[in-house]
Amino acid sequence: MNIALALQGLATLSWAFLIGIIALAIVRGSRGRPLKGAVSIIIATLVFALVLTTVSAGLVFIQPDERGVVISAVQEKGYREVELQPGLRWVIPFVENVRVYKISRQTYTMSIAAAEGDVFGDDSILARTKDGQEVIIDASVIYAVDPTKIVNLHIAWQDRYQNEVVRPLARGIIRDMASQYGVEEIVSSKRLELVAKITQELTTKFAENDLLMVDFVLRNIHFSDEYAAAVEQKQIAEQTALQAEFVVEQRKQEAEQARQVAQGKADSVVIEAKGAAEARLIEAEAESKALEYIAKVIQDNPDMLTYQYISKLSPAIRVMVVPSNSPYLFTLPETDNLTTPQ
């Protein structure tokens, strides 16, 4: 419970009660029925209201997320050099008063969306890149008042620090940093580097103005309509080129597959022909060896050939007539050696 506010409320009620008593006493007196003890009641109420007002004017309760700057008519500089810390504090009534400042984190947003930023309407940042392209940047700055420099902040800026320090510094630094990069670098490879540099520069500038930089958020980057159209056309061209490259690669793979199939068939034919040739060679070698063996047998047994010839003749053959000028294929056995049966 805030005791200072409670005392202020009681003091207000006391003054209201005092005014009511005075009005009632006047009304009853005009009707010839004076209020008994009206003067005592009025005096007591007046003293009570004065005491409560004086006490409530001297008591100040500082919240944990606040610090107080005492404006003093009895100080040579017009203020106390040390800020008030959280808790119930006492100042000289009617001579000193307290300006309270929040030290919790605050966010200042600059956005193209009308109802999204701290300023209603388009509050985005228009910047020009190193290669002359216009970019529209949405950003948020998260900051806090330095609790150890509240008095200096009050002297320099009072409660104007957001509009006269945070906003102009952020917008100016964002524009300066964006001008050091090309548009493609900002949206791709150098985006994190850009954010880091903006954060570092804001930290330095805020510290010079008794503020603490907490974080910088690069919310979005928009392009001009002309550049957006050019980027879209480029992406379409790149996609078309990739598609064509894919088709070419697919055709290459199909050709390679067909070549491998043809090579396989050719290898199969070669292997088959080689196998047939080797089989024929083996067969020829076998026939050659067989003929050699047969020739050896005939050489050792000349009559074997005649025997084989005669054995192949039909049993029905009794007489053979051959031309007189036709030689015999085989030597017939000598008839002189044949014995005529008796």
Could you give the percent of the chain with pLDDT greater than 70? 84
Kindly calculate the radius of gyration of the chain based on its CA atoms and give it in whole angstroms. 59
32-46, 136-150, 176-190: least confidently modelled range: 32-46
Q: How confident is the model at residue 317 (pLDDT cuts 50, 70, 90)?
A: low
Q: Which of 58-67, 192-201, 236-245, 281-290 has the lowest mean pLDDT?
A: 236-245
- Cα dihedral 86, 89, 95, 100 in deg (nearest 10): 20
Mean pLDDT comparison of 8-17, 165-174, 226-235, 268-277, highest-scoring range: 165-174
The CATH number of 106-223 is which of 3.40.50.300, 1.10.3720.10, 3.30.479.30, 3.30.70.2190? Answer: 3.30.479.30
The ranges assigned to domains in the chain are 3-101, 106-223
- For 26-40, the pLDDT digits (tens) are 887 777 777 777 788
pTM of the model: 0.61
Q: Which of these, 60, 78, 79, 59, lies nearest to 69 by C-alpha position?
A: 79
Both tokens assigned to 292: 């050699």
Q: 104-135 burial string, b = 16+ CB within 10 Å, else e? A: eebebbbbbeeeebbeeeebbbebebeeebeb
